[in-house]
Amino acid sequence: MNEYKKKVDDLLKLMIFYSQKNQSSRAYIWVIWEGCYIFLIDIYKRKMKSIPK
């Protein structure tokens, strides 16, 4: 799970960097957020499947 947390942290750092750099990069931030969100949902679904009912 740590590697996933690291990936998310990296994405957050990237987003902060872009938002500080210039305001016109808001679009990049949304693209990164979308990717991050989809990524996390994917992990969550896999974890749910791997837990025996």
* Domains in the chain: boundaries: 2-50
pTM over 0.85: no
Output the pLDDT for position 19.
66
Terminal-residue alpha carbon distance, the chain: 21
Q: Which two tokens mark 43?
A: 């992990």
**Are 36 and 11 contacting, i.e. CB atoms less than 8 angstroms apart?**
yes
> How many other C-beta atoms lie within 10 A of the C-beta of residue 11?
16
Question: For 5-27, what is each residue's pLDDT tens digit?
Answer: 787 788 778 777 766 666 656 66
Question: For 17-53, what is each residue's pLDDT tens digit?
Answer: 766 666 656 667 777 788 888 888 888 888 888 766 5
Helices (H) and strands (E) in the chain, counts: 2, 0
